[in-house]
């Protein structure tokens, strides 16, 4: 199985007529994803290489049966694009947009929780979600993923998402689903959202979790792993050498005192029973050992 998306998922690309939307939307379609529609207000009735374009997400849902959205629009337009998708009944929204103001992210996050609790927002500022061989929504290169499981991946870092996929694939280890949740301070999807689904998925036998300095999401995930998971977890925390008090990379990657440090996160994960690699390659080596023992 897979989590969030599968071979039945029908995707509408919000911003399909733009340069980035066209490029990534068509790459997703070429991978085999059912990209059934695009949305650009004012361009309804046109198409992009055979993909019909509508003026609203509601129309794309009614006429093309879309149930997932890929939001590829500028930061100023992204919050309303997410709202429109949720209001139309879209169940999974993937937003790769970087640079959305945090106050807008907070408003959208709380609106979805209050008014559309069944809608799953992945992102913003993320690479998206891929269930290898079934569905790819976002900017992850499908060529580096391998279908068939047994490993699920959840990561705050886009680049390290790709490395984890590539190294597992090179080792002949397939993946069930890989989710890049993004590095912004207010992600729509948390580690725990993904871990709970991997725990419930019978085809996922082990999980890779990639975190970063800043915030407390990894410590919260460690508590969940300890209390709720019986599947092995291999982790890596980026930012061991980051100086305290400085933002390094993502907007959410800022530490204060001992809160949010790489070592605090590593300690919490190891105490929860996770195996923690000191670098991405060691993380992959540890997962190879785990898979060999399954």
Whether residue 183 contacts residue 253, with contact meaning beta carbons closer than 8 Å, is answered with yes
| Spatial distance between the Cα atoms of 66 and 91, rounded to a whole number of angstroms | 9
3-state SS class at 133: coil
For the chain, the C-alpha Rg in angstroms (whole number) is 18
| Spatial distance between the Cα atoms of 70 and 96, rounded to a whole number of angstroms | 8
Q: What's the token pair of residue 182?
A: 């993004």
167: CB partners within 8 A, 6+ apart: 280, 281, 284
Q: Confirm whether 116 is a catalytic residue.
A: no
**DSSP element (H, E) containing 12:** strand 10-14
| Spatial distance between the Cα atoms of 217 and 191, rounded to a whole number of angstroms | 7
| Spatial distance between the Cα atoms of 214 and 255, rounded to a whole number of angstroms | 5
DSSP class of residue 148 equals: S
75: CB partners within 8 A, 6+ apart: 97, 98, 99, 100, 101
The catalytically annotated residue of 250, 252, 274, 277 is 250
Question: DSSP string covering 27-55, please?
Answer: HHHHHT-EEEEEE-TT-TT-EETTEEEES
Torsion 62-194-221-72 (CA) sign: negative
| Spatial distance between the Cα atoms of 54 and 45, rounded to a whole number of angstroms | 6
Active site residues: 250
């Amino acid at each position: 199985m897979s989590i969030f998306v599968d071979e039945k998922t029908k995707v509408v690309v919000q911003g399909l007529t733009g340069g980035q939307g066209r490029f990534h939307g068509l790459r997703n379609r070429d991978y085999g994803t059912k990209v059934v529609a695009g949305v650009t207000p004012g361009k309804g009735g046109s198409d992009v290489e055979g993909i019909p374009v509508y003026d609203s997400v509601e129309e794309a849902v009614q006429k093309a049966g879309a149930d997932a959205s890929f939001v590829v629009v500028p930061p100023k337009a992204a919050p309303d694009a997410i709202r429109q998708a949720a209001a139309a009944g879209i169940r999974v929204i993937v937003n790769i947009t970087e640079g959305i103001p945090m106050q807008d992210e907070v408003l959208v996050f709380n609106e979805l929780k209050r008014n559309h609790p069944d809608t799953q927002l992945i992102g913003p500022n993320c690479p998206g979600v891929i269930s290898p061989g079934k569905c790819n929504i976002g900017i992850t290169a499908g060529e580096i993923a391998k279908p068939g499981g047994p490993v699920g991946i959840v990561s705050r870092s886009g680049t390290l998402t790709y490395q984890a996929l590539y190294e597992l694939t090179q080792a002949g280890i397939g993946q069930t689903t890989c989710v890049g949740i993004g590095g912004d301070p207010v992600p729509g999807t948390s580690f725990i959202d993904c871990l709970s689904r991997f725990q419930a998925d019978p085809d996922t036998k082990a999980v890779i979790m990639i975190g970063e300095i800043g915030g407390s999401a990894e410590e919260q995930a460690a508590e969940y792993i300890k209390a709720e998971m019986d599947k092995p977890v291999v982790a890596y925390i980026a930012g061991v050498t980051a100086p305290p008090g400085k933002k390094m990379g993502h907007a959410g990657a800022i530490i204060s005192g001992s809160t949010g440090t790489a070592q605090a996160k590593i300690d919490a994960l190891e105490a929860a029973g996770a195996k923690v690699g000191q670098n991405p390659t060691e993380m992959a080596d540890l997962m190879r050992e785990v898979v060999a023992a399954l």
